[in-house]
Amino acid sequence: MAKTYRLIDGYNLMHAAGMARSRYGPGELEKSRLRFINWLTAHLTPPELQSATLVFDAQSAGHKNDSEEHHQGMTILFAASNKDADTLIEELILSHSAPRQIEVISSDHRLHKAVRKRKGNAIDSEDFVTWLEGREVIREGVMRHPPAGGPSGAVPEEEVEMWLEEFGDIPEADKLKKRHEEKKTGGQPDWIRKIEDEFGI
């Protein structure tokens, strides 16, 4: 099977996962972003992390160049302040040597159009979140401050419950809890099984 290269629209997926807020106090955006990165890396296998690129808007105003970090093998990019994450993802799609193997994770149809123009694939962020929540947690992946990595290992049920408790004050937390309950009871939509069959997961 050909390798899949995932280009992930960071804040778009973060909102779909219910881990973003409409407003942030000092330092809260960074904390929410780290929680999201830990959650994402906990649900991806080492090979998936190696071939994934997570893209965010600029970290701060005046950031003239794109910046790059790595966590658990996953590449994390921050766009320069003169462009947004969507523009950077479009640039990555255009410059990729194997565009047919690209899978864009975003609900932005502008990006869907860009990747399909190069014969790649696109998945809405909400669908991707549902698929991730249907998988077993693969590793702890704790990231306390970028770009430091955390130890490998499965996350126990108690820790998943702790995450849900911690996220209880953010929008769409009920969605996360519902997905977690469906995962525990074995609920799995047909389209998730189709994706798993297609990618051999």
Paired strand residues for 8: 54, 105
200 falls within a domain? no
110 falls within a domain? yes
DSSP letter at 103 equals: E
pLDDT attached to residue 135: 86
Grade residue 201 by pLDDT with cuts at 50, 70 and 90.
Answer: low
19 falls within a domain? yes
pLDDT attached to residue 151: 34
Q: Pick from 27, 7, 4, 1: which is nearest to 125 by CA? A: 7
201 falls within a domain? no
The yes-or-no verdict on residue 88 having pLDDT over 90 is yes
135 falls within a domain? yes
Mean pLDDT of all residues in 35-64 = 89
**Which one-letter amino acid corresponds to residue 150?**
G
58 falls within a domain? yes
The conformational region for residue 73 under phi > 0 = left, psi -120 to 50 = alpha, else beta, is left
C-beta of residue 54 within 8 angstroms of C-beta of residue 10? yes
pLDDT attached to residue 146: 44
pLDDT attached to residue 24: 87
Tokens 């502008």 -> residue:
110
Spatial distance between the Cα atoms of 7 and 102, rounded to a whole number of angstroms: 7
89 falls within a domain? yes
pLDDT attached to residue 150: 33
Domain that holds residue 71: 5-195
The yes-or-no verdict on residue 50 having pLDDT over 90 is yes
What angle separates helix 125-133 from helix 190-199, to the nearest 10 degrees? Answer: 80
Spatial distance between the Cα atoms of 110 and 86, rounded to a whole number of angstroms: 8
Grade residue 148 by pLDDT with cuts at 50, 70 and 90.
Answer: very low
The total number of structural domains that make up the chain: 1
The yes-or-no verdict on residue 2 having pLDDT over 90 is no
How far are the Cα atoms of 28, 63, 92 from residue 103, in angstroms, in the given order? 30, 27, 12
45 falls within a domain? yes
Return the minimum-mean-pLDDT range out of 29-43, 95-109, 144-158, 178-192: 144-158
